[in-house]
């Protein structure tokens, strides 16, 4: 039974007698029908059959395209299509995915991402070889909007197996792409869903930290998942500001429980590191705004940097970066 929490959906256990496949591949989607075709094909090419694998597309009431037509064309009755009666937002759409999942292992695959051949076979082996784990993830590839590969995630461990000191590592910042991770449904039943206080960014990081605090996590070094990176418009200050606020919120949520699993001093050090990591991300955007004369908005974003991390290190490095951007020849 899920822990009761005012900002997280309860994920009820499956009633006895309900058919339970091993896999639930749940595909949250919103206005991504042009990418959904590739996503579905990557799953259907590895289809293990309806008794072993549940496949559903959960659409958050798309308005710009027709995901149902794509599901009907490719799925041919094999893939269930569920559409929200109205747009509920991505967190609640994720909740629907978890609540509708009947499998023992849940793979939440965004409607614009995909998996490579062997994902389900290899990840199943990881769970079979490590029965105590609550989740497992593989290395992932970043692709652009056109589907071209750009880079690959860091190597966490050279061989497959349970990660050591994983909580300390994931607490310093996001290192997992959602399409690369598989979580036992029983874990979501115990820990509940994603946190609704987070508006648009960081809800996954908080969840992976929450899982790592309570369960062993395993890793597969082969890059079997592909994450479609959607760059933020270069000068979208409101979006950047919201992301910064979300990361601050996520770190505050993590701070509320991390000392229950780590020494207080260690937890504080890790979260300070996370805040510093995220504080530097918008500095270049801030510099661009200032150089274009958007002083007010630029300073608002700089204020978000300092709200995220008030350390002298953050202030000094951020200030130097801003000045270097404004006076590149003087400070080079």
- Kindly state the average pLDDT of the residues 235-257: 84
**Please, are residues 234 and 207 in contact by the beta-carbon 8 Å criterion?**
no
The DSSP code for 8 is B
CATH 3.40.50.2020 fits 23-228, yes or no: no
pLDDT in tens, 291-318: 665 556 656 666 666 666 665 555 555 5
The ranges assigned to domains in the chain are: 23-228, 237-326
- Kindly state the average pLDDT of the residues 277-284: 68
Residues 6+ apart with CB under 8 A from 190: 1, 2, 3, 214
Per-residue confidence at 329, pLDDT binned at 50, 70, 90? very low
pLDDT in tens, 225-241: 999 987 655 556 777 77
pLDDT in tens, 144-197: 999 999 999 999 999 999 999 999 999 999 999 999 999 999 999 999 999 999
When computed from its CA atoms, the radius of gyration of the chain, rounded to whole angstroms, is 21
pLDDT score, position 245: 86
pLDDT in tens, 109-123: 999 999 999 999 999
* Better pLDDT: 293 or 49: 49
- Please state, in angstroms and rounded to a whole number, the distance separating the CA atoms of residues 299 and 296: 5
pLDDT score, position 210: 98
* Secondary structure class of 292 (helix, strand, coil): coil
If you count DSSP H runs as helices and E runs as strands, how many of each does the chain have, helices first? Answer: 12, 10
Burial class (CB in 10 A: 0-12, 13-18, 19+), 128: exposed
The tokens for 126 are 């990881």
pLDDT score, position 38: 97
- Please state, in angstroms and rounded to a whole number, the distance separating the CA atoms of residues 316 and 326: 15
Predicted TM-score (pTM) of this structure: 0.89
**Please, are residues 115 and 226 in contact by the beta-carbon 8 Å criterion?**
yes
Which segments of the chain does DSSP mark as H helices, in order?
A: 33-44, 67-75, 90-100, 119-129, 166-170, 185-191, 203-214, 237-257, 264-279, 283-291, 295-308, 312-326
């Amino acid at each position: 039974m899920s822990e009761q929490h005012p900002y997280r959906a309860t994920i009820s256990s499956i009633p006895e007698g309900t058919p339970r496949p091993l896999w639930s591949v749940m595909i949250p989607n919103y206005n991504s029908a042009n990418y959904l075709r590739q996503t579905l094909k990557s799953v259907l090419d590895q289809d293990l059959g309806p008794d072993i694998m549940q496949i559903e597309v959960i659409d958050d009431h798309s308005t710009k395209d027709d995901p149902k037509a794509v599901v009907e064309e490719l799925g041919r009755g094999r893939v269930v299509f569920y559409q929200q009666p109205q747009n509920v937002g991505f967190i609640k759409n994720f909740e629907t995915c978890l609540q509708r999942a009947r499998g023992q292992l849940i793979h939440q695959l965004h409607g614009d991402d995909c998996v490579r051949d062997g994902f389900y076979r290899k990840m199943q082996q990881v769970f079979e070889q490590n029965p105590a784990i609550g989740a497992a993830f593989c290395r992932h590839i970043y692709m652009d909007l056109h589907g071209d590969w750009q880079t690959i995630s860091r190597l966490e461990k050279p061989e497959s197996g349970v990660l050591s000191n994983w909580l300390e590592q994931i607490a310093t910042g996001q290192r997992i792409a959602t399409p690369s991770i598989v979580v036992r449904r029983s874990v979501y039943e115990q820990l509940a869903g994603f946190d609704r206080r987070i508006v648009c960014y960081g809800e996954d990081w908080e969840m992976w930290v929450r899982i790592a605090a309570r369960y062993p996590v395993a890793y597969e070094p082969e890059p079997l998942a592909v994450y479609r990176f959607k760059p933020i418009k270069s000068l979208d200050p409101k979006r950047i500001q919201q992301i910064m606020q979300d990361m601050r919120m996520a770190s505050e949520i993590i701070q509320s429980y991390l000392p229950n699993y780590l020494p207080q001093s260690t937890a504080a050090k890790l979260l300070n590191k996370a805040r510093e990591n995220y504080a530097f991300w918008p500095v270049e955007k801030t510099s661009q705004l200032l150089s274009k004369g958007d002083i007010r908005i630029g300073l608002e974003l700089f204020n978000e940097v300092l709200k995220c991390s008030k350390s002298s290190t953050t202030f000094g490095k951020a200030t130097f970066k801003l000045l270097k951007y404004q006076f590149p020849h003087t400070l080079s």
